[in-house]
Amino acid sequence: MSKKRTRFILGVFLFMFLINFNCFAEEIDGFSIEKSKMVAGKWTLPYVSAHSAILIDSLTGDILYERDAYKQLPPASTTKVLTAITALDLASIDEISTVSEKADRVGESSIYLSKGNKLTLGELIEGALIRSGNDACVAIAEQTAGSLDEFIRLMNLKAASLGAFNSNFVNPHGLPDKNHYSTAYDLAVITRYAMNNPIFSKIVAQQYGVIEYKHPPKTQPVKNTNKLLWTYPLADGVKTGTTNAAGKCLIASATKDGRRLICVLLNAPDRFGDAYRLLEWGFNHTEIYYIGKKGDQVATYQFAGIKIPVVLGSDVMVCIEKEKKNILHTQIQLNPTVGRVIKTGDILGRYNIFIGDKLLKQAVLVSPQDYKGNLWDILNLRNFLPKTG
């Protein structure tokens, strides 16, 4: 066999091996690392290096992609998203903070605060989100809640109130602690809420910022640690995180034609590449479908000889992969019984949205007005009429 033919056969073999390798999952340290998947000659999922990842649509909250998104992992400095939004919800950005010795002594990533420095809460939040200052986080906590412990309590309450139930935070900056953990899903939920705050969203979209000190008066330029803001034109946030325990982490946001996607990557060797591929995949392969508007009549409720209109209690929309639109369907589930009196907004059933056999989400079905029936009439199933006058 000639050398050229041998090289050709080896080249084909190697090519086929690499294709097959990239079409399956491999196990690394107990985590399933999913490779890009090819079906009928087309890539259906992007390559993601992260041990835990999620992509959501910011408007609907629908999950577009996830892998081990509910696994509890150290979040590193992505913690600062919760720190910032907790402070923004509780205090004014114009409040003046005096840096304590405790804030001065925080190690690792820093904006180099010194005991006795005075600056506004807003400047501290910029230092935490743009430059990832751990010292700024402690100063934020003390200014907002009066003590570090109280602020941490409020952080956990905020997380739980948003539906981030699998997290526990023991500090405001994300330095390693065995009791400090979150999940990709929880961080996505927190970030979705935070990005609706115009102050927060403006800060995390900045490539550069300037921190203004009140005392001693000075200005300090800071550069955002989120390199995606330079490499991906659609990027508009939000936060990096890196420790030996957590690996490289990133929460990323991007907006295209008014539509925002948010992805979270934990322990991701190629976090910026992962974010780019996930966000691009989301914009190109998923879409929001509007199923109905609040107040739209979708059914009638047969009771006592008449038909009561049943309407949607909220707008109904879903974000799914475009190729799955043909298996999107709805199901109306009405309550078996109602009381003698129905008031406006009373729940009469559920509007179920499915992708194939999988329940995607539910919306309530309600009464659009008051109805009143005589008990004797109801028992005899007659004369159940709308209330007039």
154 or 369: which carries more pLDDT confidence? 154
Range of the domain at 179: 52-286
Q: Note whether 241 and 369 are same-domain residues.
A: no
Residue 378 lies in a domain: yes
Q: Which residues are catalytic?
A: 77, 80, 132
- State the pLDDT at residue 31: 36
CATH of the domain at 112: 3.40.710.10
Q: Note whether 114 and 241 are same-domain residues.
A: yes
CA-CA distance, 194 to 192, in Å (whole number)?
6
Residue 7 lies in a domain: no
User: Above 90 in pLDDT, residue 377?
Assistant: no
Q: Note whether 322 and 243 are same-domain residues.
A: no
pLDDT in tens, 297-337: 999 987 666 788 999 999 999 999 999 999 999 999 999 87
Residue 22 and residue 36 in contact, taking contact as beta carbons nearer than 8 Å? yes
Mean pLDDT, rounded, of the chain: 87
Residue 46 and residue 281 in contact, taking contact as beta carbons nearer than 8 Å? yes
Q: Note whether 230 and 342 are same-domain residues.
A: no
Boundary of a domain, candidates 266, 286, 306: 286
Residue 85 lies in a domain: yes
Q: Note whether 225 and 328 are same-domain residues.
A: no
Residue 291 and residue 318 in contact, taking contact as beta carbons nearer than 8 Å? yes
- State the pLDDT at residue 373: 57
Boundary of a domain, candidates 286, 301, 333: 286
CA-CA distance, 168 to 31, in Å (whole number)?
22
Q: Residues 6 or more apart from 331 whose CB is under 8 A from it?
A: 351, 352, 354
User: Above 60 in pLDDT, residue 204?
Assistant: yes
- State the pLDDT at residue 12: 47
| DSSP structure class, residue 322 | G
- State the pLDDT at residue 1: 52
Residue 2 lies in a domain: no
- Write down the residue that tokens 């079905």 correspond to: 365
Q: Residues 6 or more apart from 313 whose CB is under 8 A from it?
A: 294, 345, 347, 363, 364, 365, 366
Residue 135 lies in a domain: yes
Residue 74 lies in a domain: yes
CA-CA distance, 202 to 85, in Å (whole number)?
13
Residue 42 lies in a domain: no
| 3-state SS assignment for residue 271 | helix
- The pLDDT > 70 percentage for the chain reads 83
Query: Of the candidates 284, 188, 190, which has an alpha carbon nearest to the alpha carbon of residue 234?
Result: 284
**Quick check: pTM over 0.75?**
yes
Q: Note whether 327 and 201 are same-domain residues.
A: no
Residue 168 and residue 181 in contact, taking contact as beta carbons nearer than 8 Å? yes
Boundary of a domain, candidates 252, 271, 286: 286
What residues are paired with 239 via a beta bridge?
Answer: 251
Q: Note whether 82 and 174 are same-domain residues.
A: yes
Q: Residues 6 or more apart from 189 whose CB is under 8 A from it?
A: 61, 162, 163, 164
pLDDT in tens, 220-237: 999 999 999 999 999 999
Q: Note whether 104 and 195 are same-domain residues.
A: yes
